[in-house]
Chain A
Amino acid sequence: MAIKSLEDLRKIKNESQLQTKARKNNDTQVIVGMGTCGIAAGAREVMAAVLEELSKRGLNNVAVLQTGCIGMCQKEPLLDIVRPGEDRVTYGPVYPADVPRIIADHLVNGIIVEDLVVAKIPNKE
Chain B
Amino acid sequence: MALVRAHILICTGTGCTASGAKDVLAKFEQELKAKKLWDEVSVVETGCHGFCEAGPLVIIYPEGTFYTRVKVEDVAEIVDEHILKGRVVSRLLFKEPMTSQKVPNYSDIAFYKKQHRLVLGNCGHINPDSIEEYIGAEGYEGLAKAVLTMTPEQVVEEMKKTGLRGRGGGGFPTGMKWMFCAKSPGPKKYVICNADEGDPGAFMDRSLLEGDPHAILEGMAICAYAIGADEGYIYCRAEYPLAIKRLKQAITQAEEAGLLGKNIFGKDFSFTLHIKEGAGAFVCGEETALMASIEGGRGMPRPRPPFPAVKGLWDKPTNINNVETFANVPYIFRVGAEEYAKLGTEKSKGTKVFALTGKINNTGLAEVPMGISMREIIFDIGGGIMDGKKFKAVQIGGPSGGCIPEQLLDTPVDYDSLIAAGAMMGSGGLVVMDEGTCMVDVAKFFLNFTQSESCGKCTPCREGTKRMLEMLIDITEGRGKEGDIEKLERLAKSIKAGALCALGQTAPNPVLSTLRYFRDEYEAHIYEKRCPANVCTAFIGYKITDKCVGCGLCKTVCPVDAISGEPKGKHTIDPEKCIKCGACMVKCPFKAIIRG
Contact = CB atoms under 8 A, between A and B. Distances in A.
Contact of A4 (B5, B61, B258): B258
A60 B1 CA distance: 13
Contact of A65 (B3, B63, B140): B63
A47 B136 contact: no
Interface string A4-21: 111001001101110110
Given A22-B62, A55-B3, A48 B258 contact: no
B62 A23 contact: yes
Closest 5 pairs between A and B when the two form their complex, measured CB to CB: A66-B86, A16-B136, A55-B3, A64-B5, A63-B62
Interface string A48-84: 1011101100011001111110000000000000000
A18 to B, nearest CB: 8
Contacts of A121: none
Interface in A1-47: 1-6, 9, 12-13, 15-17, 19-20, 22-26, 31, 34-35, 39, 47
A60 B63 CA distance: 15
B258 to A, nearest CB: 4
B78 to A, nearest CB: 13
Interface in B1-59: 1-7, 9, 40, 42
Contacts of B9: 23
20 contacts: A4-B258, A9-B144, A12-B132, A13-B135, A13-B138, A15-B132, A16-B133, A16-B135, A19-B4, A22-B61, A23-B125, A25-B62, A39-B85, A50-B5, A51-B2, A52-B2, A54-B3, A55-B3, A63-B62, A65-B86
Interface residues of A, number: 38
A93 to B, nearest CB: 18
Given A5-B265, A16-B136, A25 B64 contact: yes
B86 A26 contact: no
Contacts of A35: 85
A79 to B, nearest CB: 13
Interface of B: 1-7, 9, 40, 42, 61-64, 84-87, 125-126, 132-133, 135-136, 138, 140-141, 144-145, 148, 256-259, 265-266
Contact of A20 (B87, B133, B258): B133
Nearest to B265: A4
Contacts, number: 101
Nearest to B125: A23
Interface of A: 1-6, 9, 12-13, 15-17, 19-20, 22-26, 31, 34-35, 39, 47-48, 50-52, 54-55, 59-60, 63-68
Given A1-B257, A9-B141, A16-B136, A68 B1 contact: no
Contacts of B7: 20, 22-23
Contacts of B140: 3, 9
B63 A48 contact: no
Contacts of B63: 65
B259 A3 contact: yes
A15 B136 CA distance: 8
A9 B2 contact: no
A55 B64 CA distance: 21
Residue from B63, B86, B125 whose CB has the most chain A CB atoms within 10 Å: B86
A26 B62 contact: yes
A51 B5 contact: yes
Contacts of A25: 62, 64
A81 B98 CA distance: 38
A116 to B, nearest CB: 21
